Amino acid sequence: MRWWRVLETFTLDQLRALIAVIEEGSFSAAARKLHRVQSAISTSMANLETQLGVPLWDRSTKVARLTDQGQAVLAAARKVCTEVDGLRKLTAGMVAGVEASVSLCVDMLFPVASLVDLCEQFRDEFPSVDLRVDTQAMTGVSARVLDGSATIGVASPLGVAPGLERKVLTAIQMVPVAAPRHPLAALRGPIPTARLRDEIQLVLSELHAEGPPDQAVLSSRTWRVRDLHTKHALLRAGLGWGNLPEHLVRDDLKARRLVKLRVEAWGEDEYKLYLSAVYRGDVTFGPAHRWLLAHLEHLCLRDEKRRQPRKRAPR
């Protein structure tokens, strides 16, 4: 019999039994896991060894131990089973109407750590679905959703375009900061607006001039940047003062790389921005998009609870 005819005679069931024996440590433990009798596992392994024509088991020991050839077969068996499981998930998803790809565009203010968590969960839930993630500022998010290059967006209030569906997700606290060596950092008490006017304020700005009007600008001198992380780096370098999301500067404030400014014109929570999920009302979502939208909300609620200070127990 030709060698490929021999290979066609073994089954996925035998490969899964081989993997179970190694993972569980013995034939009897593998039998319990697979809800079979031990003799069936022993017979399956003996048949697999005969069909492959190579010694899989080292019979000089009481505990089941693979030979070098057996280790190579085990690695190949795991690969085959993973591929088969992936094929089953893929076809099951097709039957359920799962999309081939999902596109998401988030505002730069959205916490990167939360975005990573979301992507990890998405990968585990939809391993066969491609995910495209884009990052934009202000109206750039809505523009991507409107032109169809992103199906779901996460936008700040200034970036929500008319005609889009909107679902509030979470609040982002904006914090006025400066480097410790900046002149404003040495001031005690609330800083009057008159004192801020001649200091350079770093402002996150739109790429085009038709964007929304400036918000929270108190200085007559402004340096404008398109990228939040560039703004962050310039502030840490002491080149001006400005607002940044609390989650982005949390470690900087603890390490005194940045200091929080008290601005007389603003209250403590005045610049709290609410990020919202935005999407077109004429688009029908499949399972992957519905999951993404629901888990965006769940993830933001989880992170918001983590940020809330814990109440001390009464003594």
Q: What is the pLDDT of residues 170-209, one digit of tens each?
A: 888 899 999 999 999 999 889 999 999 999 999 988 765 5
The residue-averaged pLDDT of 130-146 equals: 91
Residues 6+ apart with CB under 8 A from 240: 178, 182, 199, 200, 201, 202, 223, 234
- The two beta strands, 200-204 and 259-260, are unpaired
pLDDT band at residue 258, thresholds of 50, 70 and 90?
A: very high
Q: Nearest to residue 131, comparing CAs of 93, 90, 103, 89?
A: 103
Cβ atoms of 211 and 267 closer than 8 Å: no
First to last CA, the chain: 82
The residue-averaged pLDDT of 307-315 equals: 52
The answer to whether the 3-96 and 99-308 domains have the same CATH topology is no
pLDDT band at residue 61, thresholds of 50, 70 and 90?
A: confident
Which residue do the tokens 């280790």 mark?
A: 71
Residues 6+ apart with CB under 8 A from 232: 244, 248, 249
- The two beta strands, 152-155 and 200-204, are unpaired
Q: Residue 315: what pLDDT?
A: 47
Pick the most confident of 30-34, 226-230, 239-243: 239-243
Q: Nearest to residue 180, comparing CAs of 249, 81, 86, 116?
A: 249
The mean pLDDT value of the chain amounts to 84
HSE at residue 264, side-chain half, CA atoms within 13 A, is 12
Residues 6+ apart with CB under 8 A from 276: 154, 155, 157, 160, 166, 167, 168, 169
The residue-averaged pLDDT of 285-295 equals: 89
Q: Residue 306: what pLDDT?
A: 61
Residues 223/228/229/232 CA torsion (nearest 10 deg): 50
Which residue do the tokens 């400036």 mark?
A: 214
Q: What is the pLDDT of residues 18-34, one digit of tens each?
A: 888 888 888 888 888 88
Q: Tokens in use for 137? A: 């500022």
Q: List phi, psi (to 5°) of 147.
A: -90, 0
The residue-averaged pLDDT of 119-124 equals: 92
The answer, yes or no, to whether residue 4 has pLDDT greater than 50, is no
The answer, yes or no, to whether residue 6 has pLDDT greater than 50, is no
Q: How far apart are CA 72 and CA 70, in angstroms?
A: 5
Q: How far apart are CA 55 and CA 45, in angstroms?
A: 11
What is residue 57's three-state secondary structure?
Answer: strand
Q: Residue 221: what pLDDT?
A: 92
Instruction: Tell me the fold of 3-96.
Output: Arc Repressor Mutant, subunit A (1.10.10)
Q: Helices then strands (H, E): number in the chain?
A: 11, 9
Q: Which percentage of the chain shows pLDDT scores above 70?
A: 85
Distance of CA 272 to the CA centre of its chain: 23
What is residue 222's three-state secondary structure?
Answer: strand
Domain ranges of the chain: 3-96, 99-308
Q: How far apart are CA 293 and CA 61, in angstroms?
A: 54
The residue-averaged pLDDT of 79-85 equals: 82
What is the CATH code for 99-308?
3.40.190.290
Q: Which of 39-48, 96-105, 108-117, 300-309 has the lowest mean pLDDT?
A: 300-309
Q: Which percentage of the chain shows pLDDT scores above 90?
A: 33
